A and B are shown apart, each in its own frame.
Chain A
Amino acid sequence: MNPQDFALDPSVFGIPNRQQLLEYRIWDSHYHGFLTSREPIEMHKRMMFYVERMGIERVIALDVGGTLKKPLSPSPYDEEILKMIKNNKDKLSAITPIDPGYPHESCDKMEEWIRNGPGIGIKYVGGNELGVTCDHPNSDRIIQLAAELGAVIYIHTWIKVGGSPRVPGKGNLSGESTPMDVAKLARRFPDVQMICGHAGGDWEMGVRAIRAHENVLLEFSGGDPNSGSVDFAVNELGADRIVWGGHGPSRSYATELSKVLDASITHSERMKIFGENYRKLAEDIFRKKSLPIKV
Chain B
Amino acid sequence: MKKVNRRTFLSDSLLATAALSLPISTAANTKSLSSQETGPSYQDNGPYIIDTNVNLFDWPFRSLKYGKTQDLREKLKQHRITQAWAGNYEALFYKNIDAVNSRLVEECRKNGDGMFIPFGTVNLNWPDWEEDLRRCHEVYKMPGIRIYPLYQTFDMEHPEFPKLIEQLAKRDMILQIAVKMEDARHHHPIVHVRDINAEPLIDIMKKIPSAKVQLLHWNRHINGKLLERLVQETKVALDISRVEGSGAVGHLIEGEQWTRKSKPVPVERLFFGSHAPFFPVESSIIKLFEAPLTLDQILAIINNNARRFLRQG
Instruction: List the interface of chain A (C-beta within 8 A of B).
Output: 1-3, 5-10, 12-15, 38, 43, 46-47, 49-50, 53-54, 158-161, 165-168, 171, 201-202, 204, 223-228, 231, 248-255, 257-259, 261-262
Contacts and interface: CB of A to CB of B under 8 A. Distances in A.
Residue picked from B64, B79, B243, B286, most chain A C-beta under 10 Å: B286
Nearest to B78: A14
B245 A13 contact: no
A252 B297 CA distance: 19
A257 B282 contact: yes
A250 B246 CA distance: 7
Contacts of A43: 258
A34 B6 CA distance: 38
A8 B4 contact: yes
B290 A252 contact: yes
A224 B182 contact: yes
8 contacts: A7-B293, A12-B5, A50-B247, A201-B183, A227-B66, A231-B65, A249-B245, A254-B282
Interface residues of B, number: 55
A162 to B, nearest CB: 8
A225 B279 CA distance: 6
Contacts of B297: 7
B121 interface: no
B28 interface: no
A74 B170 CA distance: 62
A248 B283 contact: no
Interface of A is mostly: loop
A233 B185 CA distance: 20
B183 A12 contact: no
B47 A8 contact: yes
B248 interface: yes
Contacts of A161: 184-189
A121 to B, nearest CB: 23
B192 interface: yes
A224 B80 contact: no
Given A166-B192, A231-B65, A10 B286 contact: yes
B280 A252 contact: no
B46 to A, nearest CB: 7
A12 B4 CA distance: 10
Interface of B: 1-6, 9, 46-47, 49, 62, 64-66, 78-80, 182-190, 192, 243-248, 258-259, 276-287, 289-290, 292-295, 297-298
A226 B279 contact: yes
Given A12-B6, A14-B79, A248-B245, 14 more contacts: A5-B2, A7-B4, A7-B295, A8-B5, A47-B246, A168-B189, A225-B280, A227-B276, A249-B258, A251-B246, A252-B248, A254-B283, A254-B286, A255-B283
B283 A225 contact: yes
Per CB-CB distance, the 5 closest pairs between chain A and chain B, nearest first, are A262-B280, A254-B286, A228-B65, A258-B283, A5-B1
A248 B286 CA distance: 15
Nearest to B46: A12
A201 to B, nearest CB: 6
Contact of B186 (A201, A252, A258): A201
Contact of A14 (B80, B246, B289): B80
A168 B189 CA distance: 7
Nearest to A10: B289
A214 to B, nearest CB: 26
A225 B6 CA distance: 28
A49 B64 CA distance: 34
A13 B80 contact: yes
B251 to A, nearest CB: 9
Nearest to B183: A224
Contact of B1 (A6, A159, A202): A6
A15 B246 contact: no
B11 to A, nearest CB: 14
Contacts of B183: 201, 223-224
Contact of A262 (B9, B282, B287): B282
Given A224-B183, A227-B278, A259-B280, A7 B6 contact: no
B6 A50 contact: no
Given A2-B1, A13-B49, A255-B244, A7 B294 contact: yes
A261 B282 contact: yes
A253 B5 CA distance: 22
A49 B247 CA distance: 9
Given A8-B298, A14-B78, A262-B65, A224 B1 contact: no
Contacts of B62: 204, 228
B47 to A, nearest CB: 7
B150 to A, nearest CB: 15
A225 B64 CA distance: 13
A12 B302 CA distance: 13
Given A161-B187, A255-B283, A54 B245 contact: no
B18 to A, nearest CB: 17
B278 A226 contact: yes
A48 to B, nearest CB: 10
